[in-house]
Chains A and B, each alone.
Chain A
Amino acid sequence: MKLKALLLTAAATSIAATASADITVVSWGGAYTKSQVEAYHKPYAAKTGTKIISEDYNGGLAEIKSQVEAGNVTWDIVDVEMSDAVAGCDQGLLERIDPSILPAGADGTAAADDFIPGTILDCAVANIVWSTVFAYDSTKMANAPKTIADFFDTSGFPGKRGLRKSAKANLEMALAADGVATADIYDVLETPEGVDRAFAKLDTIKGDVVWWEAGAQPPQLLADGEVAMTTAYNGRIFNAVASEDKPFEIVWDAQILDFDLWVIPKGAKNKDAAMDFLAFSTATEQLAAQASWISYGPARKSSAPLVGNYATKPDLAMGPQMPTSADNMATAIVNDFEFWADNGDELNERFNAWLAK
C-alpha cells in the first residue's frame, strides 16, 4: 500500500513538472541569489504566475556545455561572468538574444542607450556591475592599508593574504601595485615583459598567500583570522559587514570592474519564458530593487537614481557602496574580456605552473 502511494505521488509530481512552464534560474548562491530572488523572482512570479526554480552553481560554462552537448538542457537562464558570456557565445553554447525585447528605461531612454556601453552582447544581457576589491579586518590591522601597493607590502602590513586561484584579476592587481597606471594595465600585460613583471610582483607575496575559489570563502578567511587581507567580490564583503556586523573594510584602489549577465543555454526547454524573464528582470525597477539587497551596481543608468537604502537596514544608503560610485571609480580597472579571450589559456597555464613551482 505504502509503495503504491509513493509511486502515485512520484508519478503525479513528474506530470506536474512537465505540464507547467516552470523556469530554472541558475545563479551563484548566497546573498547574491537572495538579492535576485527578492528583486526578480518574487515580482515575476507574482506578475505571471510562473514558478521559478532557483539553482546554485559555482560559475564557469562546464554544466552548460555538457547539457548542450548531451541535448538535454535543464537550465533555462544562467547568471554568468562577462568572460564566460563571451566564450559561451563563441562556442555556440548560448541562444542569441534579440535586444529589441529589452524595455526602455523608466525615464524613457531606449534600452540600447540606457545600458552601460558594451553590456548588451549577442548572447547576453548584463544585470549588475560587480568588482574584485581587497578588504581587511579593521580590528586586526594596526594601520589601515590604503592602496593596492599596501596589499603587496607584507613587511609594512604583515599577515597572510587571500587571493582568488586564477590568473584573472591577480595579474592586473599585481601590475597596479607595481606602479602601472590603471589605464595602461592591459597594454603592459599584452607584452611578455609585462607578464613577467606581474608574476615577479606576485612572487613577492607567494609564500603568504591563501588561495580561495568560491566567493563565500574570503569573508570566512577574514573572519577566522586566517588572512590579514584578502581580495573578494565587493558584495560578499558588504554583506558580511551589513548583515553580520563584521568589522571589515573595503579598499577600492585598483578595483577590477566586471559584469554579470544573463545567458540562455542553447536549446533551453523554456526559451521563450526565459527570454521574458530576462527582459523583466533587467528593467529599470528590478535592477534598482536588486541594488537594495546587495552592493552590486545596476547595469542600467536609469536605475542609479532609484537605488535606495539597504533593505534590512533602512538607514544604510546603498549609493556609496556601489563599485560604480564616483569616489570608488577613481582608479578602477575595467576587466578586458577580449584580452582574456585571447590570452586566458596561456596565462592560466602559466599561472598554474607558477603555483605548482
Chain B
Amino acid sequence: MTDTSAPIVTADGTPLKKKLDQAMFRSRRNAFLLVAPLLAFIIASFIIPIVVLLTQGVYDSSFRKQMPTVATFVADWDGQGEPSEEMMQAALTDIVVGLTIDRSIPTKAAVRINREVSGATSMIKKLIRATGKWKIEYEGKEQRLSDVFRNMEDEDDSGVTLLDESERRAIGVTLAKAVIAQEAPVKAKMIKADKKWADIKYWQAMKVASKAASPAYLAAALDYNYSHDGEFQQRDEDRRIHVKLFWRTLEISLIVTLACLFLGYPIAYLLSTLSVRSSNLLLILVLLPFWTSLLVRTTAWIAMLQAQGVMNDLFVVFGLAADDDRFSLIYNKTGTLIAMTHILLPFMILPLYSVMKTIPPSYVRAAKSMGATNWTAFWRVYFPQSVAGIGAGALLVFILAIGYYITPALVGGQDGQMISNMIDFHMRKSLNWNLAAALGMVLLVFVLFLFWIYDRVVGIDNMKLG
C-alpha cells in the first residue's frame, strides 16, 4: 500500500505542484512579456496623457505661482468689505515681480481671473500701462519701470538671457519694495489706473483662482458657479449650456444607436443568409463607405441634404415640397442624426453579421417544422441567438456616437451640436483647457456610468464581436 500523504513527484524528484507552478509562472511571464510592449505603449501614449490632461480640470496652481503674495493674502481673507491698502500693495508687488521675471506673467494671471469675472484682463493691463510710466532709481539712474522690465530680457549673442530666473526674481522683489516705498499709498493710484481695482468682486475672483485644487472648473462644467466662500450657485439661465448639451448628446447617441439597429439588422440578416458570392458583393457595398474618409462622407451628405441639394430637388419634383419652402434637412439636429447614422452603420452591421453567420439555419427550420409561425420562429429561436451581436454593435455605436464631433460641427447647425463640440471650442478657440478637461472628465464618468448600467442590465459577457 502506497503512502497517499507523500507528494507526487516528477521524474527528477521535485514535487509536481512546485514544477507546475514553475511552468505556470514561465508561461505567465512569457505572456506578459509578449503584451508588455503594447502595455507600455498604452500607458505612455494613452493613460498618462489622459490623466495629465484630466488633472487640469481639478488642479490649477498657475495663479498661485503668478501672484503668490495675493494668493497668500486672500487665503485668510473673509471676502468682505473694501479692498485695503495692504491688498493693493500685495497685488502691485506680484505684478512688479512678475513683470521683472517675464513680462507675460501678470497677463497670464489676468486671463485666469477673467474666467471668473469679466473685465480682469483690462484691469491688470491698465495698471501695467500706468505703472510702466512711473520712474524709479535703478542701477544708479532714474528710468521708467517699463524700460527696466524690458532690459531684464536682454540676451547675449547666443540668445541666452543675461540674468537667470532666480536673479530676476531677487531684483523684482527689491524693485517692488522700492516702488511701494516711493509710491505708497498706492490704493488711490491703482484705482485711478482702473476703477475695477476698487470692486470687491475682482478680489473674490482672485480668491477663487488662488485655490490650486478646486472644483471651480467642474462646477462650470455643470453650469454652476463656485463662489469665493465655497458655495455653488447655479448660473444665470442665459449662460447655462453644458447640462443641456450632455442630455442632448445622450439623446442623439441613443437615437443613432436605435436607428443603426433597425437599419442594420435586416442587412446583416440578408448578408448572413445569401450565397457567399452575393453576400461578398453586398459586404463590399457595406464596407465601401466604411473605407471612405469621414469628411468626404459628411460633405457628401451636405450636397445631398442642403436646401438646393439632391433630396430637396427630388421632393420638389415629386410635389412633396414647395420650391420656395424646402425642408431643412441639414445644419440642424436632423442633419446630425442622418449623417451620424450613416457613418456609424457599418459598426452595427459587422458585429451583427459575424454573430448571425454562426447561427445554424437548421434551428429555425426545426422550429417551423414543429409548427412555429414565421414570427415565433424568429422571435423565440433566431433573435435570442443574435442578441450577443446586438449588444456588441449597440455598445460600439453608442460609445463612438457619444464622442462624435466632426460631423455635428459640419452639419449640426445650432441645435445639432454635442458636448464634444463644446470641448473642442474650449480646446481650440477659448484656450480654456482646464474647463475642457473638466467637461471631458464629466463625459468620461458619464460614459463609465452608462457602461456599468449596461453591464448590470445586459451583461458585458453577453457581448460578442465575432
Contacts and interface: CB of A to CB of B under 8 A. Distances in A.
B431 A91 contact: yes
Nearest to A98: B150
Interface residues of A, number: 38
Contacts of A209: 414
Given A60-B429, A345-B115, A348-B430, A92 B308 contact: no
A62 B413 CA distance: 23
Contacts of A348: 425, 429-430
A349 interface: yes
Interface stretch (B235-243, B260-268, B359-367): B235-243
Contact of A338 (B103, B120, B122, B415): B122
Contacts of A211: 331, 413-414
Interface in A122-176: 122, 160, 166
Contacts of B409: 213
A29 B206 CA distance: 41
A354 to B, nearest CB: 7
Interface string B114-132: 1100111110010000000
B392 interface: no
Interface residues on B, range: 35 or more
Contacts of A62: 427-429, 431
A209 B413 CA distance: 9
Contacts of B429: 60, 62, 166, 348
A346 B118 contact: yes
B153 interface: yes
Contacts of A226: 306-308
Interface-central residue, A87, A92, A341, by most chain B CB under 10 Å: A341
Contacts, number: 100
Contact of A65 (B104, B153, B417, B431): B431
Chief secondary structure at chain A's binding surface:
helix
A344 interface: yes
B102 interface: yes
Interface in A71-95: 87, 89-92
A314 to B, nearest CB: 35
A37 B239 CA distance: 43
Interface in A335-351: 338, 341-346, 348-350
A355 interface: yes
B110 A90 contact: yes
Contacts of B372: none
Given A160-B307, A226-B307, A342-B114, A89 B417 contact: no
A341 B121 contact: yes
A124 to B, nearest CB: 13
B171 interface: no
B430 A344 contact: yes
A85 to B, nearest CB: 13
A326 interface: no
B118 A345 contact: yes
A218 to B, nearest CB: 13
A352 interface: yes
A346 to B, nearest CB: 4
B180 interface: no
A65 B306 CA distance: 36
Contacts of B432: 345
A353 B239 contact: yes
A349 B223 CA distance: 11
Interface in A59-75: 60-62, 65
B397 interface: no
Contact of B104 (A60, A91, A199, A210): A91
A96 interface: yes
Contacts of B239: 346, 349-350, 353
Contacts of A91: 104, 107-108, 111, 431
B425 A343 contact: no
Given A91-B108, A356-B241, A210 B119 contact: no
B465 interface: no
A224 B331 CA distance: 14
B62 to A, nearest CB: 10
Nearest to A225: B308
B431 A87 contact: yes
A344 B425 CA distance: 13
B415 A356 contact: yes
14 contacts: A87-B111, A91-B104, A91-B431, A122-B103, A213-B409, A225-B308, A338-B122, A341-B121, A341-B125, A342-B114, A344-B430, A348-B425, A352-B422, A356-B245
What 8 pairs between A and B have smallest CB-CB spacing? A92-B104, A90-B107, A353-B241, A62-B428, A346-B118, A355-B414, A341-B121, A225-B308
Given A350-B238, A352-B241, 14 more contacts: A60-B428, A62-B428, A62-B429, A87-B431, A90-B125, A122-B103, A160-B307, A211-B413, A226-B308, A341-B121, A345-B118, A345-B432, A352-B422, A353-B240
